[in-house]
Structure 1
Amino acid sequence: MLSLEKRSRQVVGKVAAQAAARELLPSGLWSHDDIRDNFYYASYLYAAAEDPEIRVRFDRDEARATAIGVFGRVLELQDRRAGSGTYGHWPLELGDDPQSAEPDPLPIELMGSLMLYFVERCGDSLPPELQASFEAALQAVCDSRFYDRPLDKYDHHEAKHTAAKLLFGAYYDDAELLEDGRRSLKALLAHVEARGLHEYGSQPWFWHWVQAFTCVRLLLSDADITDDLKRMLDLLWSERSLHYIGGAWAGPHARQRSEDTPKDAGVAFDYLQYGDFRLPPQLKRAEYAGFLFYEAPEASRIAAMDRLVPVEVKKKILKPQPDGPDRELHSYTYLTDSYAVGGMWERSEEFDNEQHRWDVTLPLSYELGSAANQAYFIHPAPGQAEGDLRHSSPFEAILPDRGAVLALYPVPEGQDPSIVGVLPKGEWIREERALFGQAGGAYLAVYLRHGYEAEESDDRVTVRSAGPGGAVVIEASGIEEAESLDAEDLEGFADLMRGRAPDFGADGRSVAYRSLHSRRLELALGADGEPQAKIDGTAAAFGDYVK
């Protein structure tokens, strides 16, 4: 395994190479999709050009000049209009004419703090005129007071506001602002320690928590503040480690982007922390991972990378509700060295319905290449773009237990009841209502209540199953697990699993299955439509199942 220093330089060099290979648009930027990407790419390109320890295949002087030019264009797009309600802000989506794009409240939250970090670390080597531009931009960020909001939702936005108070309070020697940040940090830390993260398993939001507080930890020296920052970062990385499997993020997610499913592609932060998988040729959403690093507690890191002994992670999540008391959600994840199975027992409304309620997750591996490493089914929500299987309807009940998941899809009459699934590429045996496959170091058995059509593409197998009352059962097994049951290859695994087909209820409202762990799993919908689960004949109420 490479050292941390080498992994960091590897990430910086790889993202810099991606930036150097991109053509600048007539605007002087690489992208009009998200202004932050221009700042991130310029940071990597400049850092790689300045660091002789990083091997590059581009001209360093040209790269340095390109980065400086992009920095200048980004800074020019900041709103500096006196009296403007968005003073100090940047636009997010730049459109056809970046100069006329409207300021947005999002970029300043994280990019403002990371700009301060960049200036503190690299400012002395910048041309004087660019140094002055950065200083003017940072002053405008501070003067915007975007962070001047009380804690309310205890979410990633408020984490970034808290970090900005601390950073800019220290940078401008503003004792009152620094103290406000100190109070916010203590309150946010107490809340998270007592109640956990209600933005569960959400990579984009989680990494914003990590970046914001790592940035502060690396720049501030106040002992009281840094102690609280250590506690916060230890908590965040311990949470990450609970759901880590070979570069992938197992378990349910409150939010997922296209980089998160069906392939775990946003891996830069994990690579620096754990380093136990191969870095892919292209890095997506690396943001500032190559510059910000905080080493997780050793016990957490070791536990995350050692899954020889399977573990069950059961968590109760208190989800704030807009009009009423918090709702209890119950998360379950089972992790081995070759696969993980996880799910959220209850469904909740999440941001843009970009949630991922359950899946089987495989570690990232060379054998899988760029292919999907997740297996799951959904009943697609209306209006979902073709091929974007991130938005499920509310018509689903699940029972996750160890290597298996049982799922029912009670779609009301008048709506298309078809369910769609994603399976990783590998070797598959297809039968009338079942598929048996091997991908990486795991076998998968997939049982469907109705027939199906399967289509293989470059990175996945897509399965569509029509018919009312759809239902599916998936069980994963490690190769060594299967060998202990006398299944020596995929055909042997298929023979083993053919005789274990689940009992689907005639109306599609129930399913029973005996898993490879010899546990009798039952899931049914009551007269009121609420799911009822049993494990070995004992009712498994959601609130009792996960303490």
Structure 2
Amino acid sequence: MLSLEKRSRQLVGKVAAQAASRERLPSGLWFHDDIRDNFYYASYLHAASLDPDIRVRFDREQAKATAEQVLGLVLELQDRREGSETYGHWPLALGEDPKQASPHPLPVELMGSLMLYFAERSGETLPEDLRTAFEVALKAVYDSRFYDKPLREYGHHEAKYTAAKLLFGSFYGDDELLEDGRRSLKALLARVRDRGMHEYGSQPWFWHWVQAFACARLLLDDADITADLNSMLDYLWSERSLHYIGGAWAGPHARGLSADAPKDGNVGFDYLQYGDFRLPPQLVRAEYAGFLFYEAPEEARIAAMDRLVPVEVKKKVLKPLEDGSDRELHSYTYLTDAYAAGGMWERSEEFDNEQHRWDVTLPLSYELGSSVNQAYFIHPGEGYGEGDLRHESPYTRILPDRSVVMALYPVPEGQDPGIVGVLPKGEWIRDEQALFGLVGGVYLAVFLRYGYEADEQEDRVSVRSTGASNAVVIEAASVEEAESLDIEDLEGFAELMRERAPIFGEGGGSASYRSLHSRRLELAVSEDGTTLARIDGQAVGFGDYLV
């Protein structure tokens, strides 16, 4: 494994190379879809141009000049209109003419703090006019008071507001703002310790928590605040480590972007922290991962990278509702060194309908190449598009148990009952209603109630199956686990699993299966819509399952 210093330089150099090779648009920027990416790319390119220990294939002086030009263009797009409700803000999507783009509340939330970090760490290397431009922009951010909001949802927005209060309060000697940030930090810390994070497994939001508080930790020296920031970051990385498997994020997700499913692509933060997998050829959403490092607690880091003894992670998530009450959600994830399986018992309405209920996850450390590393099925719901399996309907009931996930799809009459799925590339045997695969040292058995169509694509096997009250059962087994069952190859695995095929109820709505762990699993949906689940004949409810 490379040292932390080498991993950091490797990450910075890789993003810088992507920036250097990307053609700029007529506006002088690289991106018009998200202004923040211009700031991030420019930061990496600037850092790499000045670091002689980062091997580059571009002209350093030209790269530095390009980075400074882009930084200047980004700063110019800030709203500086006196009296404007969006004073100090930047547009998000820039459109065809960035100068005409409307300011948006999101970019400043994180980018404002990271700009302060950049100015503090790199300001001396900038030409005087750009240093002055940063000073003007940061003062406008401070004066905007965008962060001056109370804690209500205790989510990623408030995390970024809190970090900004601390950073700008300290930087501008605003003791009242600094104290407000101190109180907010303590309240946020108490909240997550008491109730957990309702933004469970949401990479884009989770990493904003990490970046905001790591940024504050690296720039502030107040002992009391630093202690709380350490505690917050320890908590965040301990939570991350619970669902870590070889560069991947196992278990259910409140939301995800296309970089998160069906392949874990947002890996910059994990690479710097754990370093037990190879960086992909292209990095996506690296944001400030290469600059903001905080070492996770040793015991959490070691546990995350040592899955020789399988673990079951059971979590109760308290999701706040608009009426002030809470809804309990219950997640289950089974992790080994070769694979992870699990999901969220209940469906929840999440942002952009992006709750990812369940999957089998393979570690990126198995070097799957361009292949996806997740296997799962959904009944398409609001927001679904061809090839985008992040949006599913409410019509799914699941029973996750160790290496198995069972899923029923009681789609109401009058709606298309077809389900779609994704499987990693590998060696596959296709039966009429089942698929058996060997992927990256893991065997997968996939059983469906009905027949299916499978389309092998560049990075995945896409599966479609239709029929009323469809159902899927997936089980994973490592090569070592299979060998203990006297299985030597995929043919042998398929032969064994055919004998263990699940029994699907004739009228639909039920499935039973005996797993390779010799556990008898039963899942059914009653006529009144109640989910019935049993393990070895014992009825289990959501709360019972967590005991």
Per the alignment, residue 345 of structure 2 pairs with 345
Residue 384 of structure 1, CA deviation: 1.8
1:270-313 Cα deviation digits (max 9, x unpaired):
00000000111111100000000000000000000000000000
TM-score (norm 2): 0.99
Per the alignment, residue 238 of structure 1 pairs with 238
Per the alignment, residue 494 of structure 2 pairs with 494
Per the alignment, residue 151 of structure 2 pairs with 151
The percentage of aligned residue pairs carrying the same residue is 77
Contact 1:365 1:440 in 2 (8 A): no
Contact 1:89 1:108 in 2 (8 A): yes
Residue 382 of structure 1, CA deviation: 4.4
Residue 365 of structure 1, CA deviation: 3.8
1:309-340 Cα deviation digits (max 9, x unpaired):
00000010100111241000001000001000
Per the alignment, residue 295 of structure 2 pairs with 295
Per the alignment, residue 408 of structure 1 pairs with 408
**d(CA) in 2 for partners of 1:466 and 1:434?**
14
**d(CA) in 2 for partners of 1:215 and 1:141?**
16
Per the alignment, residue 251 of structure 2 pairs with 251
Per the alignment, residue 311 of structure 2 pairs with 311
Per the alignment, residue 212 of structure 1 pairs with 212
Per the alignment, residue 132 of structure 2 pairs with 132
Residue 380 of structure 2 is aligned to residue 380 of structure 1: yes
Contact 2:91 2:102 in 1 (8 A): yes
Residue 75 of structure 1, CA deviation: 0.3
Q: Counterparts of 1:448-463 in structure 2 under 5 Å?
A: 448-463=448-463
Per the alignment, residue 48 of structure 1 pairs with 48
Per the alignment, residue 91 of structure 1 pairs with 91
**Root-mean-square deviation (Å):** 0.7
Per the alignment, residue 59 of structure 1 pairs with 59
Q: Counterparts of 1:329-340 in structure 2 under 5 Å?
A: 329-340=329-340
Q: Counterparts of 1:458-497 in structure 2 under 5 Å?
A: 458-497=458-497
**d(CA) in 2 for partners of 1:176 and 1:446?**
59
What is the letter of the counterpart of residue 323 of structure 1?
Answer: D
Question: Relative to structure 2, which stretch is displaced further, 401-410 or 521-530?
Answer: 521-530
1:500-536 Cα deviation digits (max 9, x unpaired):
0001011221100000000000001122202111000
Contact 1:360 1:374 in 2 (8 A): yes
Per the alignment, residue 202 of structure 1 pairs with 202
**d(CA) in 1 for partners of 2:382 and 2:34?**
27
1:454-501 Cα deviation digits (max 9, x unpaired):
000000000100111110000000111011011111111111101000
Contact 1:453 1:463 in 2 (8 A): yes
What is the letter of the counterpart of residue 249 of structure 2?
Answer: W
TM-score (norm 1): 0.99
**d(CA) in 2 for partners of 1:333 and 1:80?**
48
State the SS of the aligned residue for 2:325.
Answer: strand
Report the CA distance shift for 1:350/1:383 in structure 2 as closer, same or farther (over 3 A). Answer: closer
Per the alignment, residue 531 of structure 2 pairs with 531
Contact 1:156 1:205 in 2 (8 A): yes
Residue 184 of structure 1, CA deviation: 0.3
What is the letter of the counterpart of residue 443 of structure 1?
Answer: Y
Residue-pair matches, total: 547
Q: Counterparts of 1:388-399 in structure 2 under 5 Å?
A: 388-399=388-399
Residue 366 of structure 1, CA deviation: 5.5
State the SS of the aligned residue for 1:463.
Answer: strand
Contact 1:254 1:350 in 2 (8 A): yes
Per the alignment, residue 105 of structure 1 pairs with 105
Residue 342 of structure 1, CA deviation: 1.5
**d(CA) in 2 for partners of 1:149 and 1:324?**
18
**d(CA) in 1 for partners of 2:487 and 2:405?**
21
Residue 233 of structure 1, CA deviation: 0.3
Residue 181 of structure 1, CA deviation: 0.2
Contact 2:366 2:441 in 1 (8 A): no
Per the alignment, residue 169 of structure 2 pairs with 169
1:199-229 Cα deviation digits (max 9, x unpaired):
0000000000000000000000100000000
State the SS of the aligned residue for 1:415.
Answer: coil
**d(CA) in 2 for partners of 1:325 and 1:152?**
13
Note the residue ranges of structure 2 that are not aligned, 5 or more in a row.
none
What is the letter of the counterpart of residue 421 of structure 2?
Answer: G
Residue 383 of structure 1, CA deviation: 4.9
Residue 39 of structure 2 is aligned to residue 39 of structure 1: yes
Per the alignment, residue 446 of structure 1 pairs with 446
Residue 424 of structure 1, CA deviation: 0.3
Residue 518 of structure 2 is aligned to residue 510 of structure 1: no
Residue 423 of structure 1, CA deviation: 0.2
Contact 2:278 2:367 in 1 (8 A): no
Contact 1:452 1:466 in 2 (8 A): yes
Per the alignment, residue 370 of structure 1 pairs with 370
Contact 2:383 2:391 in 1 (8 A): no
**d(CA) in 1 for partners of 2:451 and 2:133?**
63
**d(CA) in 2 for partners of 1:228 and 1:245?**
28
**d(CA) in 1 for partners of 2:290 and 2:133?**
24
State the SS of the aligned residue for 1:521.
Answer: strand
Contact 2:359 2:376 in 1 (8 A): yes
1:365-424 Cα deviation digits (max 9, x unpaired):
464101100000000014522111110000000000000001000001111000001000
Per the alignment, residue 182 of structure 2 pairs with 182
Contact 1:87 1:140 in 2 (8 A): yes
Contact 2:437 2:444 in 1 (8 A): yes
What is the letter of the counterpart of residue 271 of structure 1?
Answer: Y
Residue 53 of structure 1, CA deviation: 1.1
**d(CA) in 1 for partners of 2:501 and 2:189?**
48
1:120-157 Cα deviation digits (max 9, x unpaired):
10001100000000000000000000000000000000
**d(CA) in 2 for partners of 1:266 and 1:426?**
23
Report the CA distance shift for 1:324/1:163 in structure 2 as closer, same or farther (over 3 A). Answer: closer
**d(CA) in 2 for partners of 1:365 and 1:8?**
18
Per the alignment, residue 142 of structure 2 pairs with 142
Contact 2:155 2:199 in 1 (8 A): yes
State the SS of the aligned residue for 1:29.
Answer: coil
Contact 2:362 2:373 in 1 (8 A): yes
Question: Relative to structure 2, which stretch is displaced further, 60-69 or 376-385?
Answer: 376-385
Note the residue ranges of structure 1 that are not aligned, 5 or more in a row.
none
What is the letter of the counterpart of residue 245 of structure 1?
Answer: I
Question: Relative to structure 2, which stretch is displaced further, 320-329 or 401-410?
Answer: 320-329
